[in-house]
A and B are shown apart, each in its own frame.
Chain A
């Protein structure tokens, strides 16, 4: 059973969000890392740089599937699959977890801690927070 941490907010695309002031830390959930299996490479636009990039929050269709594109130049690759990453909130990327460049497996071992992906300076928190799920709601889809 995948671990869901109380107090965090979640997306239907299996990411978690931790809001502190106007800065949202974003990572993959335990369910997502389990589904992917052993992560061997994380692409966070290392060459171009992700910091400062403007993101637009993911939109969903009636079925709850993403109806907008994942973040370009960002992906999480395991031995068997490539995982897209969506923006949970609109805003500018404030910080990137550089340690994932050489230690992508940190997402497997500590997805809610050292395996965070990036931080967003949220620009529309009040308008967008309603689309995020609490732990109880997320538990229903993380299986």
Chain B
């Protein structure tokens, strides 16, 4: 039996095509289709159900020290009301999960984690919490529902529903407010699309009312519900890592090209510190690359990347799609550093043929702030 979002009936009523996504039944697309949902999110706004994601509360006098210890990023750089992207890593620097922190106070954090990793993350936090006094970890995932409202019109849509002036909530900040119909809501200016937007969490029992009021408020702004298909193509254009693809327990943040989360000035010890600082200093044998196909064809996850002559294996595709915004076949791949140069040509082995591709700068689509 697949797990269902509190918004499951809403998706069915909208005619969504549901898929099994890591044990969850979720909409991959609505009748509008992936490409239109993608383009509309870039042009207007899209509403995504992300209720499958894990939502944890970490609190107590030891909360800050625990998160510093399991985090690659420096939690001290984030103040109350702030958000931060980070990873939990193993000692060897590979990634347990990528997470978002939201700090209420030094002793109170919300942590949003990947659905498929939630149990692993809870075990990881609990195991490491033993080193610190006074830490409480609560899994709020099932009690709450989460949506992501993304796109240049996202603020206009949401502003009509909340009393707080959203212009005061900057990127990587959050607030607690109330949606219409008295729905208490956590509203963060974060996202996974390359657009301005908000991730919103509210009690699961109020999910339908909240979903409907957001969609209703979005009508004048051409807000459309968008599924996991568009979520994936949007994040891939923006080159945001997807766990299990660009990052995993066999890939480090340095290899994945998200070394900006590693802070050399972070004094305190944390898991993976030695390995990651070492990689920062000496480099890694392979590194993520952006690829654009020269020949026609889709470069899908798992395909081998060969050298220009098609003779030697030099990497592997981690994610690939046909980019709805660029109208080009794009991919991310882990490529051996001696073949990983901007402008270099490689060959991607698709079944019985080779597609030539060029290594290009990342991202394919630069983050687009509110104008």
Contact = CB atoms under 8 A, between A and B. Distances in A.
A80 B33 CA distance: 11
A107 to B, nearest CB: 14
Taking residues whose C-beta sits less than 8 angstroms from the other chain, chain A's interface range is: 10 to 19
A84 B321 CA distance: 18
Interface string A66-98: 000000110101011010000000000000000
Instruction: Report whether over half of chain B's contact residues are helix, strand or loop; otherwise say mixed.
Output: mixed
Contact of A79 (B229, B297, B352): B229
Nearest to B329: A41
A61 B28 CA distance: 32
B326 to A, nearest CB: 12
Interface string A23-58: 000000000000001101101001100000000000
Interface residues of B, number: 18
B329 A72 contact: no
Contacts of B321: 79
A114 interface: no
Interface string B1-38: 00000000000000001000000000011000111000
Nearest to B38: A79
Contacts of A46: 296
Listed residue (A75, A80, A101) with the most chain B CB atoms within 10 angstroms of its CB: A80
A40 B351 contact: no
16 contacts: A37-B17, A37-B33, A37-B34, A37-B229, A40-B322, A41-B296, A41-B298, A41-B329, A46-B296, A47-B353, A77-B297, A77-B322, A79-B34, A79-B35, A79-B229, A79-B233
A80 B28 contact: yes
Contacts of B34: 37-38, 79-80
B300 interface: yes
Nearest to A48: B353
A43 B297 contact: yes
B353 A79 contact: no
